[in-house]
Amino acid sequence: MIIDTLENASQYSLLNPLFEKAFDYLEDKNLDALEVGVTEIEEGLRMIVFDEMAKTKEESLSKFECHNQNIDIQICLKGIENIGWKSRQKCTKPIGEYNAEKDVLFYNDNPDMFFQLNENQFAIFYPNDVHAPMIGNGFIRKIVFKVKI
């Protein structure tokens, strides 16, 4: 997992060529005007814009998730977002089977930690990062880039 601010995003381009394309895509955009929903940017890279009410910790933990086929870049644009995290290797209570169509596996474990994203901060979640996002109060506007591995 990586946590940083958008102003430092260029430091992560060497980790994956699609990271650079994701952050470049936002450069000349009015982030407040992005349409809510899914945008296919190119093969292997899509953007999802959310503008919704934050969840309680319990609601979010019911979908404590990780992915096998995608890396998530989650960017908080407005509001304060708390996120639960735990290493997948330490998770022992899967809920059901991995859903390949939706690229998601849920766990019933408790996070090892919670952290906060403020406006214009992001977290990058790899397949080993089980995460429970959108915890907070009020509305949160965020972007999630799905980066195909």
Q: 3 forms bridges with which residues in the sheet?
A: 123
Task: Classify burial at 37, counting beta carbons within 10 Å of its beta carbon; exposed 0-12, middle 13-18, buried 19 or more.
Answer: exposed
Question: Residue 28 has what pLDDT?
Answer: 86
Question: Residue 30 has what pLDDT?
Answer: 93
Question: Residue 109 has what pLDDT?
Answer: 97
Contact (Cβ atoms closer than 8 angstroms) between residue 55 and residue 134: yes
DSSP 60: H
Question: Residue 5 has what pLDDT?
Answer: 97
The residue-averaged pLDDT of 29-44 equals: 95
The pLDDT tens digits of the residues spanning 93-141 come to 999 999 999 999 999 999 999 999 999 999 999 999 999 999 999 999 9
Question: Please, what is the average pLDDT of the chain?
Answer: 97
DSSP 109: P
Write down the residue that tokens 């933990």 correspond to.
61
The pLDDT tens digits of the residues spanning 59-102 come to 999 999 999 999 999 999 999 999 999 999 999 999 999 999 99
The residue-averaged pLDDT of 45-59 equals: 96
Buried/exposed 104-119: b ≥16 CB within 10 Å, e otherwise = bbbbebebeeeeebeb
How many Cβ atoms are within 10 Å of 49's Cβ, its own excluded? 17
DSSP 103: T
